[in-house]
Amino acid sequence: MNDLNVNKEFEKEGRIKDFISQNKRLVVLLAILAVVIIVGISVNVWVNNANKVAEEELIIPEADIIEDQIAEILPKTERTVEGDELTTSPGSIPKDPFMGPMVLLGVITGGRDDNIAIIKSGNTTYVVKEGEQILDYWNLKAVNGDSAVLESDERETMLKLSGMAINSESTSATTSNTVSLDVRNADVRDVLSALAIKLNANVIYTEKPTNITLKVENVTSVRALEMVAQNLGYSYARQSGLYVVGSSNKLHSDFFNQMVLTRFNLIFIEAEIVEPLIGRLSLPVKSIRIPTNQQAIWIQGTPQAILKMQELINAIDRPENADDEEISLAYRSIWTNVISPSRVTELLSDAGMDVENYVILGSRLLVFDKDLFSRWEEIETLVRELDNMNASEYRVFAFALKNTVARDAAERLDQFDYEGVKTITFNYPQFGQEILVICPPHLESQVYSSLVSLDGNRKKIKAPITSATGENAKSMLTAKRTLLSELTDVSVKDMYLSENLSGDRDAPHYVLWIEETPDKIQYLNEMILRFDEK
């Protein structure tokens, strides 16, 4: 029996060998298929595991978790409350106190800047200084101890503080160095925004929104901020021009080196445009954006890095960039070695070139004001001059000339031999009539007076400015006279064409002459030289 089973096994093995020898190609294909199936199963398992890991790494925090961690950068001069019972669409916010609710929630008076009012209309709160406009209709005329006066072209109205008044902690009058604050059930973020404006600083608020009622008088702005924080059981920390308000357990000694999460709401641009710019500028922050909400971006970084992000958002989230898909390229850079970039903005403002939208990254100034791009060569020239001296001891001003060109004014001013005075002229100084002056403060009025004298009206003289000979000489000079009049403020009637001076009809010679000041004649001669260039 055993021998029979053995014979059957040998017989089966023989058939298998015969099958393999007769179907070698098929066997090879089956083997390859088996290997592919095994590899496919392995890859599928690996991909599934990788997807699970990726999903875990890319999970966006839920809304309530984000709200618990988020911090706000202040000041914000206009803030819309989401989910408010009075929520209205932007177009339906009441623009007239007589037609809808407008409530005065707080005032801050005194100090070195204009008085400030906190006004709520509908679901939007405004932190506004005297002289500023809200709702495209009302101008804040005055802020007093418990009221604010608004005016329009047609009428004037007064808002009184709402809620019950409480006793203040001081009764002394405010001075130029102190402020008085009276807020009634106002959002602490609006109160801190008003104080940030008074301090000319930024405030980071790390806690959940809450309302506050408080009245203090005749205290410094810093003391007022401290009292607001203490009223809510919070503390504050300070580093340079940055204040942080929050609970004591958050404001530990190493807070300014810790990461803070902040939400930035965008109005005119989308988050997908902001993200590439962050990398391009090498800002030390991380960003989170939700594809379904392109009008918000979450940024994580140190408080100082968050402030730089705030500067960037303020510089680019503007109406003119609403349809600009190439916004990442729409800026210009200046590097400084001696003076600070902030000093550069001050000096450019003195020179009549206000820089409004900019970001400072170390010694680099990024400018986003597109209307300055056409003058960028002038700006770079000015900064190069300023960056080679102690610009903190110098003033810069622009002088608009009327009768003299920039080249001549600069050369003549140099003859006064003022110590430490420099002038800058721009392209085509033989035609331009604007000059920049850099000078010590004590010489500014003298230099200005000298320029006024140099640019004064001079006695007119008669002089030829060009001539022509030949068959078409007269028509040539007539055309030049017309063009000169179009390019300058000299009338055609003030330029005269002579008779034929050659006496030869076949080769006539004519002269174009004028009665004007010497400077004006030289100016016209420069124009003619450019006409004749080939």
CATH, residue 488: 3.30.70
Query: Do 170 and 193 belong together in one domain?
Result: yes
- Does residue 113 contact residue 184 with C-beta atoms inside 8 Å? no
Q: How far apart are CA 66 and CA 70, in angstroms?
A: 6
Query: Which residues touch 8 (CB under 8 Å, ≥6 apart)?
Result: none
For the CA atoms of 12, 18, 19, 25, the dihedral, rounded to the nearest 10 degrees, stands at 150
Report, in this order, helix, strand and coil percent for the chain, each rounded to 5: 40, 30, 35
Query: Do 145 and 185 belong together in one domain?
Result: yes
Give domain status of residue 16, yes or no.
yes
- Reading the block at residue 362, the tokens are 């170390």
Q: Residue 32 — very low, low, confident or very high, per pLDDT cuts 50/70/90?
A: low
Query: Do 441 and 465 belong together in one domain?
Result: no
Query: Do 425 and 500 belong together in one domain?
Result: no
Q: What are phi and psi of 178, to 5 degrees?
A: -130, 160
More confident residue, 305 or 12: 305
C-alpha Rg value of the chain to the nearest Å = 38
- Does residue 185 contact residue 162 with C-beta atoms inside 8 Å? yes
Q: How far apart are CA 136 and CA 209, in angstroms?
A: 27
Quickly tell me which residue has 């009292």 as its tokens. Answer: 227
Residue-wise pLDDT tens digits, 158-184: 999 976 555 555 445 555 679 999 999
Give domain status of residue 264, yes or no.
no
Give domain status of residue 275, yes or no.
yes
Averaged confidence pLDDT in the chain: 79
Give domain status of residue 53, yes or no.
no
Q: Residue 495 — very low, low, confident or very high, per pLDDT cuts 50/70/90?
A: very high
More confident residue, 9 or 437: 437
Residue-wise pLDDT tens digits, 83-108: 443 333 333 334 444 445 789 999 99
What count of other Cβ atoms lies within 10 Å of the Cβ of residue 368? 23
Query: Do 8 and 154 belong together in one domain?
Result: no
Residue-wise pLDDT tens digits, 192-214: 999 999 998 999 999 999 999 99
Residue-wise pLDDT tens digits, 368-423: 888 888 888 888 888 888 776 566 567 788 888 988 888 999 999 999 988 888 88
Q: How far apart are CA 467 and CA 473, in angstroms?
A: 8
Please tell me the total count of domains within the chain. Answer: 5
Give domain status of residue 477, yes or no.
yes
Q: Residue 56 — very low, low, confident or very high, per pLDDT cuts 50/70/90?
A: very low
What DSSP character marks residue 161? B
Query: Do 343 and 408 belong together in one domain?
Result: yes
Give domain status of residue 62, yes or no.
no
Query: Do 92 and 235 belong together in one domain?
Result: yes
Q: Provide mean pLDDT across the span 243-271.
A: 83
Q: Report DSSP letters for 257-289, one per residue.
A: GS-EEEEEE-SSS-HHHHHHHHHHTT-S-EEEE
Query: Do 72 and 159 belong together in one domain?
Result: yes
Per-residue confidence (pLDDT) for residue 57, from 0 to 100:
34
- Does residue 438 contact residue 413 with C-beta atoms inside 8 Å? no
Partners of residue 297 on adjacent β-strands: 264
- Does residue 180 contact residue 217 with C-beta atoms inside 8 Å? yes
Spell out a b/e string for 495-506, using b for 16 or more CB atoms within 10 Å of the CB, else e: beeeeeeeeeee
Per-residue confidence (pLDDT) for residue 505, from 0 to 100:
86
What DSSP character marks residue 160? E
Per-residue confidence (pLDDT) for residue 50, from 0 to 100:
35
Of 327, 330, 331, 360, the closest CA to residue 346 belongs to: 360
- Does residue 121 contact residue 80 with C-beta atoms inside 8 Å? no
Per-residue confidence (pLDDT) for residue 138, from 0 to 100:
87
- Does residue 122 contact residue 94 with C-beta atoms inside 8 Å? yes
Q: How far apart are CA 464 and CA 514, in angstroms?
A: 6
Query: Do 212 and 319 belong together in one domain?
Result: no
Give domain status of residue 263, yes or no.
no
Tell which of 232, 256, 280 closes a domain. Answer: 256
Query: Do 469 and 450 belong together in one domain?
Result: no
Q: How far apart are CA 192 and CA 74, in angstroms?
A: 7
Q: Provide mean pLDDT across the span 334-344.
A: 84
Q: How far apart are CA 532 and CA 323, in angstroms?
A: 45
- Does residue 308 contact residue 361 with C-beta atoms inside 8 Å? yes
- Does residue 337 contact residue 387 with C-beta atoms inside 8 Å? yes
Tell me: pLDDT of 44 over 60. no
Longest dimension (CA), the chain: 149
Query: Do 284 and 351 belong together in one domain?
Result: no
Give domain status of residue 386, yes or no.
yes
Most confident range (mean pLDDT) of 216-225, 261-270, 453-462, 521-530 is 216-225
Domain span at residue 184 reads 68-256
Side by side, which strands form the sheet with 358-361?
332-335, 364-367, 358-361
CA torsion sign for 288, 252, 71, 73 is negative
Query: Do 389 and 283 belong together in one domain?
Result: no
Of 364, 446, 337, the closest CA to residue 397 belongs to: 446
